[in-house]
Amino acid sequence: GDAAKLRSFALLEALWRAQVAVGQALMLDSLRDQVQKGTDSGSKYIAIIGQREALDQTAIVRSVVTQAQMTLPLDKLAQYVSRGHRS
């Protein structure tokens, strides 16, 4: 939804400020298509922000390689990725 997209823009900005290379697929409406684009891009991780995550101010971080995922607060994601989890 719109709230999730707005949170995503804030997350993108935080990652850019932390000098983390990022891509986005916000213009695609289907979560499946967005995840597929992230997988096809060669990224190691995909951050997913849906309506629930937008309300909770969290993101689901999924490993493209292992499919393992965890939920992180948005304000911790840039720090997590910049500490050696770069894509």
Residue 56 is predicted with a pLDDT of 93
Report residue 60: phi and psi, to 5°. Answer: -90, 125
Task: Give average pLDDT by consecutive 10-residue segment, the chain, 87 residues.
Answer: 78 82 76 83 84 90 89 89 61
Contact present, 60 and 48 (Cβ < 8 Å): yes
Residue 85 is predicted with a pLDDT of 54
As separate numbers, helices (DSSP H) first and strands (DSSP E) second, the chain gives: 4, 3
Domain ranges of the chain: 2-82
CATH of 2-82, one of 3.40.50.800, 3.40.50.2000, 3.30.365.10, 3.90.340.10: 3.40.50.800
Residue 84 is predicted with a pLDDT of 56
pTM across the whole model: 0.76
CA 79-54-75 angle, 5° bins? 20
